[in-house]
Amino acid sequence: MEVRVSGVRKEFDRFPALHDVSLDINSGELIALLGPSGSGKTTLLRLIAGLETPTDGKVFFGDEDASLKSVQERNVGFVFQHYALFRHMTVIDNVGFGLKVRPGANRPSKEEIRRRSSELLDFVQLSGLEKRYPAQLSGGQRQRVALARAMAIEPRVLLLDEPFGALDAKVRKELRRWLREIHDKTQHTTVFVTHDQDEALELADRVVVMSQGKIEQVGTPDEVYDRPNSPFVYSFIGESSSLDVSIQSGTIHLGDKALDLKSEQADGKGVLYFRPHDVELLGGSEARISGVVIASRRVGATRRVELEIDGTESRVEIEIPADHPAKVGSPLAFLPKHWRVFGKSA
Ligand SMILES: Nc1ncnc2c1ncn2[C@@H]1O[C@H](COP(=O)(O)OP(=O)(O)OP(=O)(O)O)[C@@H](O)[C@H]1O
Ligand SMILES: [Mg+2]
């Protein structure tokens, strides 16, 4: 285990930014912290870096309590959300900076710093730009310099806070692939913050989904997408549709109608969640979720249909084959192939 966050709480002036957060980060793993704005991602990253101290709980590096270690001693490489390179230093001096400011005995020679810095620039595919100043680079090139600079100190852990946040979608996509390749080569333990689900799902070995200062779920991209464990994760990752239902003797009911869906949950009210594309159209309306088409539009290879559910005022969206007519006003019935019910209070 590389980093262990154990029961951490962080308050700012009594405002709890993190509540009881625990997370194990394995050596060599690329982990994404994913959550909406204000969910505590940056705060958690800064606590790992040692730039903040927990109000409660501990952070361990290996077996050692990191609260006894300074930011330098933790040996982390950090790329900030809105990162500024040193404007008056060339690209190569920016990369070598962390080595140059090391205390005497640990500081490599000038030549060694230069050699390592240009090796890293080569690695991030920026050779030839050594003598440029940050103002003479594109946004994507600057972030690559920032990453080379964070890696120069041979960090134990790389912490990246939305490193590509300010860049346009196409460049982001390229850098995302590139970062994954770099990670596969270097095997640095990396914690990557993003509020972009595609970025997290494509890039990470494991995704940590955060909401309101809490960890909602930790899992592989497949696990958090295919088996969301809370209504928040269902709606935050991928698309979801939901309907108010009740559970009566192991069967899910929509109003008075028993659906052909079984649940082991206790009787009571709940909300049924499913993916709009993960449904099966069925004839008849008995034991099905049935409704009337309110809107229908062609989206790429499929058709998106909004249904008003019989006997309710609820509307849900489903995705069906493009060749289905789905005329407005016509009846349609379906059942989700995969789904989950969460208790009403959850
Ligand atoms: N220094 C601070 N003083 C007071 N409150 C803070 C401080 N830093 C963060 N907060 C609060 O803690 C909460 C979590 O903030 P944090 O920056 O960790 O969110 P985030 O998930 O990184 O959001 P974003 O995606 O917008 O960067 C927010 O409500 C924020 O206002
Ligand atoms: Mg942030």
| Beta-strand relationship, 189-194 and 157-161 | parallel
Mapped onto helix, strand or coil, the DSSP state of residue 286 is coil
In this prediction, residue 83 carries a pLDDT of 64
Structure tokens at 203: 């890039």
> 247-253: which pairs have CB atoms within 8 A and are 24 or more residues apart?
247/341, 252/341
In this prediction, residue 179 carries a pLDDT of 87
Cα separation, 110 vs 115, in Å, equals 9
Residue 77 CA to ligand 1 centre (angstroms)? 21
In this prediction, residue 346 carries a pLDDT of 45
Structure tokens at 197: 């689900």
Q: Cβ distance 285 to 310 under 8 Å?
A: yes
* Domain residue extents for the chain: 3-235, 240-343
Cα separation, 124 vs 213, in Å, equals 34
Asked if pLDDT for residue 345 goes beyond 70, the answer is no
Residue 307's pLDDT band (boundaries 50, 70, 90)? very high
Question: How large is the average pLDDT for residues 250-273?
Answer: 93
Residue 97 CA to ligand 2 centre (angstroms)? 25
Q: Where are the alpha helices (DSSP H) in 187-325?
A: 197-203, 221-226, 231-236
CB atoms within 10 A of CB 161: 21
Q: What is the DSSP string of 105-160?
A: GGPPPHHHHHHHHHHHHHHTT-TT-TT--GGGS-HHHHHHHHHHHHHHT--SEEEE
Of the spans 68-77, 178-187, 210-219, which averages the highest pLDDT?
210-219
The closest-lying atom of ligand 1 relative to the alpha carbon of residue 44 is 18
Pick the ligand that lies closest to the CA of residue 210: 1
Question: How large is the average pLDDT for residues 219-244?
Answer: 94
Residue range 156-169, pLDDT digits in tens: 899 999 888 777 78
Question: How large is the average pLDDT for residues 341-346?
Answer: 76
- Please state at what angle helix 91-100 crosses helix 139-152, rounded to 10 degrees: 20
Mean pLDDT of the chain: 92
Question: How large is the average pLDDT for residues 290-314?
Answer: 94
Domain 240-343: CATH architecture, name and number where available: Beta Barrel (2.40)
Cα separation, 294 vs 305, in Å, equals 7
Residue 17 CA to ligand 1 centre (angstroms)? 7
**Which residues make beta-bridge pairs with 334?**
281, 289
Cα separation, 81 vs 79, in Å, equals 7
Question: How many percent of the chain have pLDDT more than 70?
Answer: 99
Report the residue among 19, 34, 41, 208 best suited for mutation to probe ligand 1: largest number of ligand atoms under 8 A from its CB: 41
Which CATH homologous superfamily contains domain 3-235?
P-loop containing nucleotide triphosphate hydrolases (3.40.50.300)
Pick the ligand that lies closest to the CA of residue 40: 1
In this prediction, residue 104 carries a pLDDT of 82
Asked if pLDDT for residue 342 goes beyond 70, the answer is yes
Say if ligand 1 is within 6 A of residue 48 CB: no
